Amino acid sequence: MLISFEKRERVHDFFLNQRTLLSVYSLLAITASIQLFLAGTHTSGEGYVYTDYNNYVIFRQSYFHLLCRKNIYMLFPAEQWDLYKYSPTFALAMGLLAHLPDLVGLSIWNLFNALVLFSAIRMLPIAKSQLSLLLWFILIELLTSMQNSQSNGLMAGLLIAAFTCLERKKVGIAVLWVVVASFIKVYGAIGFCLFLFYPDKVRSMLYSVLWILLFAAVPLLVTPFHILLWQYHNWIVMMAEDQSISYGLSVMGWLHTWFGASSGKSIVNITGIVLFLLPFGRFRLYQDYSYKLLMLALMLIWVIIFNHKAESPTYIIAVAGVGIWYFSEQALVWRKVLMAFVFVFTCLSPSDIFPEVIRHYFEAHTVKALPCIVVWTVIWVEIMRMKTPSINQ
């Protein structure tokens, strides 16, 4: 029996309803946390016992290491299997969760990531129905990030929120979100590029200095000044050493796995920076909303595909950029094809939809990155081809 038009409309309205989406985002965050917690532990070759929510353990333990005045950027193999790579300020902030049972803290952490991104996207000045579709589109990629207890949903949300605050002339709040993002992951500082498109640049700089000094100094609440300086020095050293370790799911990783390029990382990085900066030369488009939205999408994708440490969970940031590009423009056939390309080979490629042998092939050949590289190129061309308004306009 055919479903009546009224029933179809009710189903349609239900799935596009913001409350429905909020419930789905919240439930998915909690479910992912419970799944990680119940997965148990596994033992490394060296005999150390680790959980499947190791990233959260790293964040939690960084707080205790900071309190004990240890080098928070060294390896602690008896506790975690990777380095802590965020700021001392973020380590202090994790004290809000560190004393909670892991299941509770992990659930709050994933829920926070999901809801920040959900709220930021809801603030975008795009039609509500399109925003709902955008939220559905990025959901699987967000789940990938939460299943790794990563901070990438939070990062994407903060950068998008900075843009929406600038559009609403809330300069101080916009600066705050970019500074928070920068003190989580250094590449969050890319958000400062958004301020080029808006007035009140002196206010923006003053707010930036204020927030940066405040966030840089707040760990002094628990650690002496000379120890904090030492921690920042250790952070810089760790990041410098980390720079040359891998190619990641990036442009360089794609060139390496597809074409055998094993050198030239510096050339690729410089080329990426030059290509990124060229659209900022369209000065006469700075007041054009479509241009600014495309630049936001361009930035969100660029910061991942040219990141030598990009991994599968970080792609929620890039996929959010792809979604903003698509759902803010006319849904032409070729755009739909590109979106399907991203959804299948970026969002679904690490999932159990594909057999394990295919998943391994995709991972080994950096397939996840390719659709986002293609979309980024398309956005770049669209920006460079945008018509400049006449002087009389």
Q: How far apart are CA 38 and CA 106, in angstroms?
A: 12
Residue pLDDT, tens place only, 54-107: 999 999 999 999 999 999 999 999 988 889 999 999 999 999 999 999 999 999
Provide the strand spans (E) within 159-274: none
Greater model confidence, 393 or 201: 201
CB 134 within 8 A of CB 327: yes
The model's pTM is 0.94
Any idea where the domains of the chain sit in the sequence?
34-40+101-242, 244-393
Residue pLDDT, tens place only, 236-271: 999 888 766 678 899 999 998 898 877 777 899 899
Provide the strand spans (E) within 19-105: 41-43, 49-51
Strand pairing class (41-43; 49-51): antiparallel
Residue pLDDT, tens place only, 279-303: 999 999 999 999 999 999 999 999 9
Contacts of 123 (CB under 8 A, 6+ apart): 160, 161, 164
Count Cβ neighbours within 10 Å for each residue of 10-32 and write b for 16 or more, e otherwise.
Answer: eeeeeebeeeebbebbeebbbeb
Question: Residue 113, CB half-sphere, CA atoms under 13 Å: how many?
Answer: 33
Output DSSP code: residue 124: S
Range with the lowest mean pLDDT among 24-33, 174-183, 300-309, 382-391? Answer: 382-391
CB 184 within 8 A of CB 154: yes
Query: What band does 392 get if pLDDT is binned at 50, 70 and 90?
Result: very low
CB 58 within 8 A of CB 66: no
CB 320 within 8 A of CB 372: no
